[in-house]
Each structure stands twice: as structure tokens, then as C-alpha cells.
């Protein structure tokens, strides 16, 4: 384990490529991608679609630029197995539109473009992540960005919960920072908590700053009153510390003790009673169980091609089992919704995607938050409704997969060069 960095990684050098050009391309690509996603997060609450379009155009421009550089022989366009299920999801949407099987063609067009953007952002992040210092700076920047979001979200929740960043009015009284839906805020925190924990163990000189971040992240999920978010935060914390225990020994025990103390102080400061009351409910799933039953009926009705990507909300009323006077726009289970919209082929692609991400995340340890989000998707919808979060997820997956691939190459004893920064 590298004590000076958040994670270890190496950059493979290939004959005929100008190393300086590739390093500069990684820097600029990483910086531009970070700026795009930061903008997307700050505009996450906006009811209009144009901020998403800005992010999409920027991602496509970065992908096109890197592809052009590869075509000219100035850059290397590295491939990864995760690109296969991502491309497969795009093909499912295209097939539904081509054969006219979508119940809501416009929604399928939007969803297909969304999956294409996810493929593009993963490809871009995977290229930039091959340079270790670029990837490390991106992760450090992500931690500080997430800490700012978490602190603002907590203050906002206790002062003006019906206004985003104390300015923009919203119908939700559970908004956290730019997240209108508190569970999606918790899912964002799930992705950064393992990075902070890993940094606390891997870098003793910055252990306390990373522990403070991790404790603040955990406390913010308590403020969000997200049951799945808190449960998964505890689970991934235990997983990270257990894996690192074999490598770092005593440092992990010290980190665990420090985290427990800080988290307890922070949770007592922000209050845990609303979350505890929510856990006291007799039926934790309530209406969601009925949504799941309806979605299973939808899957059984069209197991082959599904009803069309993005078409769940249009089809659901015909299978609804209750009416609470509200519009149900998601199945509250991305896994069931993927199967209903894209059929069993889409479900198979998502299982393959999860398998690839899980393997890479375990190899890096700090990427375990991706697994947490995929588990959360069993009972919620992190990949629906807010496209930018999906782009962020697959950008982080690109960094995780790049680091995992480089670790594997190093352990296999292949020739590698670490290029100067």
C-alpha cells in the first residue's frame, strides 16, 4: 500500500506514443471532466433539462477529442470489459426504437442517449485514470467537493430545508444540498466514504483530516434520514477496515477507534432521533412492496424486449395495485425497473456490469462505494431521474477500473513505466 497516495497505480508506456502528450491530455481531460460534473451537481435540483444537456455535450466533446488523438497516433485509446455491457444497454434502446417495441418512444430515446453518455464518460475517465497523479488529484478534489456538499447539506437541512442552497425554492422539505431527494444524497456519500477511509489508513500524515471527512460523511447520512444509506455506510466502513486490516494492521485499529469517536460526536451533534423513528416503522418497505409486485408483473408480460427504456412510469398505471393520489415515476428498484424496461437481456447486461465493477472495486478497496450504490439500487433508484449522478458514478467507475487494471498488470509482473508528472 502506498503511504503517500490515496491509492497505488502505474501508467503503462507503449512504443510510439509521446508520453508528454498523453500526460498533458490526461491532466486536461481530468480537469475538464471534473468541472463538468461539478457544474452538473450544482444544477442537480434544476427542473429544466438544459444543465444535463451541457454536461452531455461536454462529455461527448472530451470523448471525441480523445478518439481523434488516438486516430492521429498521439494518444492511446484503452479499452475495458465494462464498455461491453454499457454499449449493450445502448443497443437495447436502439433495438426497441428500431423494432417499435417501446411503449413510450420519446422516453426511450432520452434513456438511450443517457446510456450512451454513461459509456462516453466511463471511457473518458478510464483514459485519464491511467495516469496516477491525475487520478489521485481527481480523488482528492472529489473528497473536498463532497465535504463541502455534505456540510452545506446539513446546515441547509436545519435552516431552510425547503430551499436549495438557501436560495432556490423546492417542493421537497428533505432536500440535502443540491439533491432534492435525500436518498440520492446518501448514495453520493456512499461513493466517497470508502475513499476517505482508505486515505486515513494509507496516508498517516493526513489520517485525521480523512477521518474527520469520513465522520462528517457518515453524520450527514444520519441527517438525511436515509435508512439504506446509513446501513450501507456502516457495511462499507466495516468492509474497508476489514480488508485493510490484513495490510496495515495497527493503523486500521487506530483509524477505526478514531472514526468511531468522531462519528459518535458528530451524530450526537446533529441528532439521530428522526432516523431512529423511521427504523421503528413496522413495515420498512410499505408501498414499495406493491410497486415491486407490479413491476414483476410487467417483467412477466414482456420478458424479451421489455416496455422500452425510460417507459416504466408510462406503463405502470395499467399494473398499479394501489392509488395514493401521487404519481409513481419510478419502481423504487433500479434492478426491477431495468428488467421491466429492457427485458431479461437488459437485466443480464446489468448483472455483467455489476460483476465487473465489483471485481475492480474489491481490488482497489477505495472503490467499494460503487458496490454500495448497486446494492442500494435494489430498493431505490440512484440511476433514474437525475442523469448527472449516473454520469458521476461511471466516471468514478472509470478511475476504479483504471487503477484495478494497473494493479493487476503490476502483480502479473508485466513491464510498466511510471511516467514523470
pLDDT at position 324, please?
66
Query: Residue 191: its pLDDT value, please?
Result: 96
pTM of the model: 0.90
Secondary structure element (H or E) that encloses residue 168, with its range: strand 168-169
How buried is residue 87: exposed, middle or buried, by Cβ count under 10 Å (0-12/13-18/19+)? middle
Average pLDDT per block of 10 residues along the chain, 421 residues long: 42 43 87 97 89 96 94 89 98 97 96 98 95 91 95 88 85 84 91 93 84 89 84 90 78 74 72 64 70 94 95 92 73 95 97 97 94 94 93 97 84 48 40
Question: Does residue 6 fall inside a structural domain?
Answer: no
pLDDT at 281: 67
- Examine residue 10 and state whether it is found in any structural domain, yes or no: no
Residue entry with cell 408480460:
301
pLDDT at residue 202, as a whole number: 82
In a domain, 308, yes or no: yes
Residues of the domain holding 121: 19-411
The sign of the torsion formed by the CA atoms of 359, 360, 364, 369 equals negative
**How far is 99 from 126, CA to CA, in rounded Å?**
33
Hey, what's the torsion of the CAs at 92, 98, 104, 108, to 10 degrees?
Answer: 40
In a domain, 401, yes or no: yes
Judge whether 421 lies within some domain.
no
Residue 350: name the closest of 367, 336, 369 by CA.
336
pLDDT confidence of residue 285? 65
**Does 8 map to a domain?**
no
Q: Domain tally for the chain? A: 1
Q: Does residue 70 fall inside a structural domain?
A: yes
Is residue 67 domain-resident? yes
Amino acid at each position: 500500500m502506498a503511504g503517500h497516495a490515496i491509492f497505488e497505480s502505474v501508467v503503462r508506456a507503449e512504443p510510439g506514443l509521446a508520453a508528454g502528450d498523453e500526460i498533458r491530455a490526461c491532466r486536461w481531460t481530468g480537469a475538464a471532466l471534473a468541472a463538468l460534473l461539478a457544474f452538473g451537481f450544482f444544477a442537480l435540483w434544476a427542473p429544466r433539462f438544459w444543465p444535463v444537456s451541457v454536461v452531455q455535450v461536454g462529455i461527448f466533446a472530451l470523448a471525441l477529442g480523445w478518439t481523434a488523438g488516438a486516430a492521429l497516433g498521439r494518444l492511446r485509446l484503452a479499452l475495458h470489459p465494462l464498455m461491453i455491457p454499457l454499449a449493450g444497454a445502448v443497443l437495447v434502446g436502439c433495438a426497441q426504437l428500431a423494432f417499435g417495441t417501446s411503449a413510450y418512444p420519446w422516453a426511450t430515446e432520452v434513456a438511450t442517449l443517457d446510456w450512451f453518455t454513461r459509456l462516453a464518460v466511463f471511457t473518458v475517465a478510464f483514459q485519464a485514470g491511467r495516469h496516477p497523479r491525475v487520478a489521485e488529484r481527481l480523488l482528492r478534489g472529489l473528497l473536498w467537493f463532497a465535504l463541502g456538499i455534505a456540510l452545506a447539506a446539513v446546515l441547509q437541512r436545519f435552516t431552510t430545508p425547503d430551499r436549495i442552497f438557501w436560495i432556490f425554492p423546492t417542493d421537497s422539505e428533505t432536500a440535502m444540498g443540491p439533491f432534492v431527494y435525500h436518498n440520492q444524497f446518501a448514495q453520493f456519500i456512499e461513493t466517497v466514504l470508502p475513499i476517505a477511509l482508505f486515505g486515513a489508513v494509507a496516508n498517516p500524515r493526513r489520517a485525521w483530516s480523512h477521518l474527520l471527512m469520513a465522520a462528517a460523511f457518515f453524520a450527514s447520512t444520519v441527517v438525511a434520514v436515509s435508512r439504506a444509506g446509513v446501513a450501507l455506510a456502516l457495511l462499507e466502513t466495516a468492509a474497508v477496515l476489514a480488508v485493510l486490516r490484513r495490510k496495515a494492521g495497527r493503523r486500521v485499529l487506530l483509524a477505526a477507534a478514531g472514526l468511531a469517536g468522531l462519528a459518535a460526536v458528530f451524530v450526537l451533534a446533529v441528532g439521530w432521533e428522526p432516523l431512529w423513528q423511521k427504523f421503528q416503522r413496522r413495515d420498512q418497505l410499505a408501498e414499495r412492496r406493491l410497486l415491486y409486485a407490479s413491476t414483476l408483473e410487467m417483467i412477466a408480460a414482456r420478458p424479451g424486449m421489455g416496455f422500452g427504456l425510460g417507459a416504466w412510469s408510462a406503463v405502470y398505471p395499467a399494473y398499479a395495485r394501489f392509488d395514493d393520489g401521487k404519481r409513481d415515476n419510478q419502481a423504487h428498484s433500479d434492478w426491477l425497473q431495468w428488467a421491466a424496461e429492457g427485458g431479461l437481456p437488459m437485466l443480464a447486461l446489468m448483472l455483467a456490469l455489476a460483476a465487473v465493477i465489483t471485481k475492480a472495486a474489491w481490488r482497489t478497496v477505495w472503490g467499494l462505494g460503487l458496490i454500495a450504490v448497486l446494492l442500494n439500487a435494489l430498493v431505490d433508484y440512484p440511476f433514474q431521474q437525475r442523469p448527472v449522478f449516473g454520469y458521476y458514478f461511471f466516471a468514478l467507475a472509470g478511475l476504479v477500473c483504471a487503477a484495478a487494471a494497473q494493479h493487476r498488470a503490476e502483480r502479473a509482473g508485466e513491464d510498466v513505466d511510471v511516467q514523470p508528472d
